[in-house]
Structure 1
Amino acid sequence: MSIKAYRTLQQVEVIVGYKTYIDLVAELVKGKEVISSGMMKEVDRCQKAIEIALQKRSVAVISSGDPGIYGMAGVVLELALKMGVQEAIDIEIIPGITSANAAAASLGAPLMHDFAVISLSDLLTPWETIVQRLEYAAQGDFVTVLYNPVSKKRTEQIKEAQRIFLKYKPGNTPVGIVRNAKRGNEEVTVSTLAEFLKHPIDMFTVVLIGNNRTFSSAELMITPRGYSL
């Protein structure tokens, strides 16, 4: 997390978030009022946080990675507008370190050129739309970061993503697999586009697919920016 996020969690009165993320900061929020719940309760949590803020109490909604990137910032802002209270409370979006940056740092320097970030979760986005975005990213030769690649119920999407990228990229294109990026029990693997599905992948994993210039060396991925060396 960013230093600003760390300090904010120490200062606010109430912490609201998904139970798994609350557990990750348990030591930091000891003694505070904590409101946590499970999956599919995102809107309820954000609404509760707004109601607390309307009581003139300081409250933090926490997300994994960065609240503005697949996080809760958008939900809070949309709800505040819908409830007509956006001017009654002060909302600050405090950036964190998104999984793409965290995983890339562990892999070396795979994001040194243009890249795309695509979530494979079709819970909120139609799968047809995700497929279209994968096609465009592969055709455009973007380094591509895949979030939410596999869940217990969703196992075929990552195979389809591989199939799409193999249409436009050679099988030896480097692919990085990072589980629990920067969370202490991190696992890092460098594989290839043809072989990466042989490695364990789950919802805590980020998959980075290189572009046509990305290369790997000593378990690192490097995407040249184009400087003359």
Structure 2
Amino acid sequence: MSGQLFVIGLGPGNASQVTPEASHAVAEAEFFFGYGPYVDRLELRPDQTRIASDNREELSRANAALQRAAEGAKVAVVSGGDPGVFAMAAAVCEAIEKGPVEWRDIDLTIIPGVTAMLAVAARIGAPLGHDFCTISLSDNLKPWAVIERRLEAAASAGFVIALYNPISKARPWQLGSAFEILRRHLPGDTPVIFGRAAGRPDERIEIVKLEQADPAKADMATCVMIGSPETSIVERAHKPPLVYTPRFSTESSQ
């Protein structure tokens, strides 16, 4: 008899940003699979079991969770942010596609969460007020040449761009290369937002101009947002500035 599998988004790290739907699923599940720091966010009961693994073991984690669910258990796979944004929902779907046919009968519920991009945007104003896109700078699962082409296309098209996985010890150069590409297409005064750990005690939000953007300001807990040519900074005398992208576009159709 098949059990149930929840894929749960825990938000950016602030407990108040976990949705009621996610909290209900956590209360119902018996086994919890996830990257160690995400599983550690949970306050589990003695009758609930956590099974932590490394961040690069997404597919094997999904396989293990599905196998446990196929045996009749109520299982949760947890992600930070939203599970459908560069996270575990895609790994679970891939595992179902490639796995035993009986896995397709498992009762699967994917529960959305507040992703880092939305948490950072809310802290700073409304930088995503008009068309935007999201790009991961990690080349673990796609070639760097593909990332370069997508950055070129997004900047040329006038999208606001949110960058996930901007930098790591294994690839410290990629965010700097991304900025070089973007500077070829965007004005030097385009706003860049470094949003680290939005909503957590160690939160750091910083606004700079693209021409001054320093990749050293980012780490893997940072979502980097690059405005479009229409993105504005609204200075306020006694409060932090607002960054927003107008809901209308002034670009010509030509």
Deviation, structure 1 residue 51: 1.0
Q: Does 1:33 align with 2:55?
A: no
State which drifts further: 70-79 or 214-223: 214-223
Q: Does 1:65 align with 2:87?
A: no
Partner residue, 1:80? 96
Q: Distance in 1 between matches of 2:98 and 2:248?
A: 46
Q: Distance in 2 between matches of 1:39 and 1:86?
A: 23
Residue number among 60, 82, 94 corresponding to 1:44 in the alignment: 60
Deviation, structure 1 residue 198: 6.4
Provide the aligned length of Structure 1 versus Structure 2: 225
Q: Does 1:105 align with 2:122?
A: yes
**CA gap 1:85/1:184 in 2 versus in 1, 3 angstroms:** farther
Contact in 2 for aligned 1:166/1:193 (Cα 8 Å): yes
Q: Distance in 2 between matches of 1:85 and 1:100?
A: 36
Q: Equivalent residues in 2 for 1:38-187 (5 A)?
A: 38-83=54-99, 84-187=101-204
Q: Does 1:219 align with 2:241?
A: yes
Contact in 2 for aligned 1:150/1:158 (Cα 8 Å): yes
Describe the SS at the equivalent of 1:93: strand
Describe the SS at the equivalent of 2:40: helix
- TM-score using structure 1 length: 0.93
Q: Does 1:189 align with 2:206?
A: yes
Describe the SS at the equivalent of 1:163: helix
Structure with greater proportional strand content? 2
Deviation, structure 1 residue 100: 1.1
**CA gap 1:211/1:56 in 2 versus in 1, 3 angstroms:** same
Describe the SS at the equivalent of 1:92: strand
AA at the equivalent of 1:135: E
Deviation, structure 1 residue 110: 0.2
**CA gap 1:46/1:136 in 2 versus in 1, 3 angstroms:** same
RMSD: 1.5
Describe the SS at the equivalent of 2:161: strand
Deviation, structure 1 residue 152: 0.8
Q: Distance in 1 between matches of 2:144 and 2:19?
A: 33
Contact in 2 for aligned 1:190/1:220 (Cα 8 Å): no
**CA gap 1:145/1:197 in 2 versus in 1, 3 angstroms:** same
Deviation, structure 1 residue 182: 2.2
Contact in 2 for aligned 1:116/1:142 (Cα 8 Å): yes
Describe the SS at the equivalent of 1:34: strand
State which drifts further: 73-82 or 124-133: 73-82
Contact in 1 for aligned 2:131/2:159 (Cα 8 Å): yes
What CA deviation, in whole Å up to 9, does each residue of 1:160-203 have, x standing for no partner? 11111111111111111110122332111111111121652100
Instruction: Give me the identity figure in percent.
Output: 40
Deviation, structure 1 residue 44: 1.6
Describe the SS at the equivalent of 1:85: helix
Q: Distance in 1 between matches of 2:166 and 2:93?
A: 27
Q: Distance in 1 between matches of 2:125 and 2:170?
A: 32
Deviation, structure 1 residue 39: 2.6
Describe the SS at the equivalent of 2:182: helix
Q: Does 1:210 align with 2:232?
A: no
Describe the SS at the equivalent of 1:48: helix
